[in-house]
Amino acid sequence: MARSKTSGDWLKEHFNDEYVKRSQNDGYRSRAVYKLEEIQQKDNLIRPNMQVVDLGAAPGGWSQYAVELVGKNGRVVASDILDIDPLPFVEFVKGDFTEESVLNDILNVLYKDSTNYKADVVISDMAPNMSGVEATDQPRSIYLCELSLDMACQILKPGGSFVAKVFQGDGSDAFLKDVRSHFKKVKVRKPKASRPRSREVYVVAQGFYN
């Protein structure tokens, strides 16, 4: 079957993308790592010895970068409904994190060899499989944001941080308001690695208190 012009244009753009080339050269699994890198450079969320939970982690780029930041005495727990190829020093929990059994598995990993079972940082680059129909895609993406926030509120220690990808549109302002009700400081970032035409932004929240 011949490729459509649209898919051909996307492939050309993808393989010419500077961040795709950088990720290949740097050994990262996705170009998305540079979005987290820019957020980290501006907000200094992840530090040595911290415990980080990466929700919707596949293919693993964010977890790769987080491991570099937490060091040998930190911990990165990745979770996704999809399998990911093993990553050094990343502990993977497969399943739907909204299910109690998966939540307990994540908590058990955090608790292992530690009296501290709470996370310092929860990160999420999740997005639904896009249909191209905004009336369907936008509610699904906001729902994932709400799920990740709920998870963060369950497992973050006081003062912890949260990062989530949000697509601007119906429901995004309400989600931002909800985040502000749980964190002392909330910013919206548009990293350079996020394609200009994309409606995606990243909510960066610090100082969890409720």
State the catalytic residues.
Answer: 165
For 113, the enclosing helix (H) or strand (E) is none
Q: Position of tokens 């990740």?
A: 148
Q: Return the SS3 of 52.
A: strand
Q: How many CA atoms lie within 13 A of 50 on its CB side?
A: 24
* 113 marked among binding-site residues: no
Starting from the edge strand earliest in sequence, which strands make up the sheet with 200-208, in order?
A: 90-94, 75-80, 51-55, 119-124, 156-167, 200-208, 183-189
Query: Is residue 96 a known part of a binding site?
Result: yes
Residue 80 assigned ligand-binding role: yes
Report whether 178 belongs to an annotated binding site. Answer: no
Cα–Cα distances in Å, from 54 out to 92, 93, 169? 9, 10, 24
The Cα 97–Cα 170 span in angstroms is 25
> Which residues have CB under 8 Å from 167's CB, separation 6+?
127, 137, 138, 141, 142, 199, 200, 201
- 207 labelled binding-site residue: no
Burial 43-67 (b: 16+ CB within 10 A, else e): bebbeeebbbbbbbbbbbbbbbbbb
Residue list for the binding site: 60, 62, 80, 96, 125
Residue list for the binding site for S-adenosyl-L-methionine: 60, 62, 80, 96, 125
